[in-house]
Amino acid sequence: MQFYNLISRDLKLAFYSNTNFLFAASFLILILILIPFVFGTNISEFSILFTGFIWISIALSILLTLDRVFTSDYEDGNLDTIILTQQPLELIVCCKFISHWIANCIPIIMVIPIAGLLFEVNMQDILNIIINVFAGSPGMVFIGAAISALTLGSKRADIYKTIIIIPLYIPFIIFGANQESGLVLLGLSLIAFIFSLFTSTYSLRLYAE
Amino acid sequence: MSNKLIIQNLECVREDKIIFKRLSCDIESNQTMLIRGKNGSGKTSLLRTIAGYISKYNGSILFNDNDLQVNTELLSDFRFVGQKNSLKENLTVQQNIELWQLIYHTKNNVSEILDLLDIKMLLNKDIDSLSDGQKKLISLFRLLISKAKVWLLDEPLVFLDTNKIKLLENIILQHNQSGGITLYSSNNDIDLKYDLLINMDDYAVL
């Protein structure tokens, strides 16, 4: 029950700060709109570029919204309030992961078919990309959230965060670009989950001291 | 119902530096303790230690004869209102209250509390448009949102005007009479009524 409450609290927060749900999806579309300006209008190349740009924009939009996982709650004191309710920190961290993934990656996944139509990608390829994103994006969210938990409280962490996180995204992008590697991505996400759960919990335990 | 908070020989260490040491005191139901002290003397550290945020300390803190370092679940009866207001600046007061209700896992009717704090007319205003005093007042809402036994208030009087200080005094009195304990830190000349006084300057290690 508390699990459900914490998730719905985060989703409600995302919904109320009304840019949140739209942000990731519109970011993806805007990046894709830039492609024709860079590469001209030769249609046959677009569908090849499509997968790559989907993954790059997912990586960037996760990076840009990472502040909402722990940092904003830390800065205004809500993290203190949540921790004092004495829920296990693991539970709090899981709720944060799940709600952030729902608020950021589900809109992206919903926009992919529409974006795919714009680029004349065929239905089978779109389906494969969606499966890959579905399997891979949770892992990217987990890693990003863990690193931002580690840098909680340090003032100039933003630039370090990006430098640490981008290399960790490389495996996801390599396998994401390959259409039949959904299972590998799922495995990567699960590994990332274990790693991130422990690091985030540990750093939340430390941050007060 | 009566509660008791006993602090024995508490020593707080942060980043290898002792903040204060040999601090002992007993607080019972229906008592308010004022924590005084210079800036940096450890008032906030003491409150955060009691609230369990700082888990590494020497000595013991007992709540109803249970060690809080072992029985951490008892801390869910504690409310900490710190200098940060826990408010989302871009949301309205109403929305902030809804988020708190989910955190505290409560669906109580809030209209009574709104009347008590006299903030009903602010309900649909954005937090950014409020004054610091109004934000402080709204952050006190968390104390009343559900029943807690121990209130830990870190500098609650900052930004509040005399009427609101009086109001807070009454709220604390009511809480104490129903068996609660209140600890607050302050450096103002105006103080709430208090039963016990602890001066951190006596324990601080500089």
Vertex B59: Cα angle to B147 and B151 (nearest 5)? 15
Q: What is the dihedral of CA A86, A90, A95, A98, to 10 degrees?
A: 180
Name the pLDDT band for B183 (thresholds 50, 70, 90). Answer: very high
The amino acid at B86: S
Q: ipTM strictly over 0.95?
A: no
Name the pLDDT band for A43 (thresholds 50, 70, 90). Answer: low
Helix, strand, coil shares of chain B, percent, nearest 5, are 35, 30, 40
Q: What was the pLDDT predicted at A158?
A: 77
Q: Which 118-137 residues of chain A touch chain B by CB within 8 A?
A: none
Q: Is the pLDDT of residue A202 over 70?
A: yes
- Residues of B with CB below 8 A from A78's CB? 86, 88, 99, 103
pLDDT digits (tens, 9 = 90+) for A46-98: 777 788 888 988 898 888 888 888 888 988 889 888 888 888 889 999 999 99
* Interface mutation vs chain B, best among A84, A91, A99, most B CBs within 10 Å: A84
Q: Residue B18 gets which letter from DSSP?
A: E
pTM for the predicted model, two decimal places: 0.89
- Residue A13 has its nearest CB partner, among B51, B80, B99, at B99
Q: Is the pLDDT of residue A201 over 90?
A: yes
CA distance A35 to B147: 57
Q: Residue B195 gets which letter from DSSP?
A: S
Please, what is the average pLDDT of chain A? 87
A35-44, A155-164, B3-12: least confidently modelled range? A35-44
Q: What was the pLDDT predicted at A154?
A: 79
Q: Is the pLDDT of residue A149 over 70?
A: yes
CA B137 distance to own-chain centroid:
13
Domain limits at A51?
2-207
Q: What was the pLDDT predicted at A185?
A: 94
Name the pLDDT band for B146 (thresholds 50, 70, 90). Answer: confident
In order of their start, the domains of chain B are 4-202 (3.40.50.300)
The amino acid at B133: G
Name the pLDDT band for A208 (thresholds 50, 70, 90). Answer: low
Containing B94, the helix (H) or strand (E) segment is helix B93-103
In Å, how far is A95's CA from the nearest CA of chain B? Answer: 12
CA A115 distance to own-chain centroid:
19
Cα dihedral B65, B71, B75, B76 sign: negative
CA distance B53 to B42: 14
- Residues of B with CB below 8 A from A86's CB? 52, 72-73, 75-76
- Residues of B with CB below 8 A from A99's CB? none
Percent residues over pLDDT 90 in chain A: 38
Q: What domain count does chain A have?
A: 1
HSE-up of residue A133 (Cα within 13 Å, Cβ side) = 28
Q: What was the pLDDT predicted at A209?
A: 60
- Residues of A with CB below 8 A from B90's CB? 17
Q: What was the pLDDT predicted at A117?
A: 85
CA distance A140 to A206: 23
